[in-house]
Chains A and B, each alone.
Chain A
């Protein structure tokens, strides 16, 4: 256990469903991130939150909607996804602002999403 917990671990959803991914960190960090890892590709940054404020949106389609109610929790709301959105979604946190990231990033175990 790394201190960053993601739920659920696996998710299968239809293209018309609405679901949410949850990330929780118990490390006292102030920056949180969503990354996407498609098969045989490097990790792609999706969103960055610093002190609950979104500071980066890497041109992510609007069918992905992040929410950061406090520094410990991060959600990714999903609706009307496409089969090509099937991937491993990873959450990470770092101690201070993303630009400094003292001590580095800590990743959760990920949610493996399958869109059918």
Chain B
């Protein structure tokens, strides 16, 4: 099945810093989403972005489908950004449901 790799696995930032999270995937995809999981386990959908670039406030994401990667940018980080960020994809063949990466655990310190 499709492989999804995220980097870095862990990231510690000072409040106000910027960061880039990366997601590489091993096959073409129909669907790619970025999620933020808060400390209570809730998965919040950040972006549905199988291709192109989107922005939402301090967050933006870019997916280059032909090169099989996606990037999530966090600018001016805040302590509330802490948590785990997951990338998940659906390939055009095989398992027809989201396959998740292992996540990037982000800690933003005041």
Which residues of A line the B interface, CB within 8 A? 2, 33, 37, 41-43, 45, 48, 55-56, 58, 88, 90, 92, 97-101, 103-107, 109-110, 112
**Contact A45–B43 (Cβ < 8 Å):** no
Docked Cα-Cα span, A88 to B33, in Å, equals 20
**Contact B41–A88 (Cβ < 8 Å):** yes
Q: Name the residue on A nearest B42 (C-beta).
A: A109
Q: Assuming the A-B contacts A43-B86, A99-B30, are A105 and B98 also in contact, with contact meaning beta carbons closer than 8 angstroms in the complex?
A: yes
- Find chain B residues with CB under 8 A from A55 CB: 96
Those of B78-110 within 8 Å (CB) of chain A: 86, 88, 90, 92, 95-103
User: What are 12 A-B contacts with C-beta separation under 8 Å?
Assistant: A33-B97, A33-B98, A43-B88, A43-B100, A56-B97, A58-B95, A88-B41, A99-B30, A100-B30, A103-B48, A105-B33, A107-B45
**Contact B97–A45 (Cβ < 8 Å):** yes
A-B contact count (CB 8 A): 66
Q: Assuming the A-B contacts A42-B103, A99-B30, A101-B90, are A106 and B98 also in contact, with contact meaning beta carbons closer than 8 angstroms in the complex?
A: no
Which residues of B line the A interface, CB within 8 A? 30-31, 33, 35, 40-45, 48, 86, 88, 90, 92, 95-103
Q: Name the residue on B nearest A107 (C-beta).
A: B43
Q: Could you tell me the distance in whole angstroms from the C-beta of A27 to the nearest C-beta in chain B?
A: 12
Docked Cα-Cα span, A37 to B88, in Å, equals 14
**Contact A42–B102 (Cβ < 8 Å):** yes
Q: Name the residue on A nearest B35 (C-beta).
A: A107
Docked Cα-Cα span, A72 to B31, in Å, equals 22
Docked Cα-Cα span, A52 to B43, in Å, equals 24
**Contact A90–B101 (Cβ < 8 Å):** no
- Find chain A residues with CB under 8 A from B100 CB: 42-43
Docked Cα-Cα span, A107 to B103, in Å, equals 16
Docked Cα-Cα span, A105 to B100, in Å, equals 12
Docked Cα-Cα span, A75 to B99, in Å, equals 21
Q: Could you tell me the distance in whole angstroms from the C-beta of A47 to the nearest C-beta in chain B?
A: 9
Q: Name the residue on B nearest A98 (C-beta).
A: B96
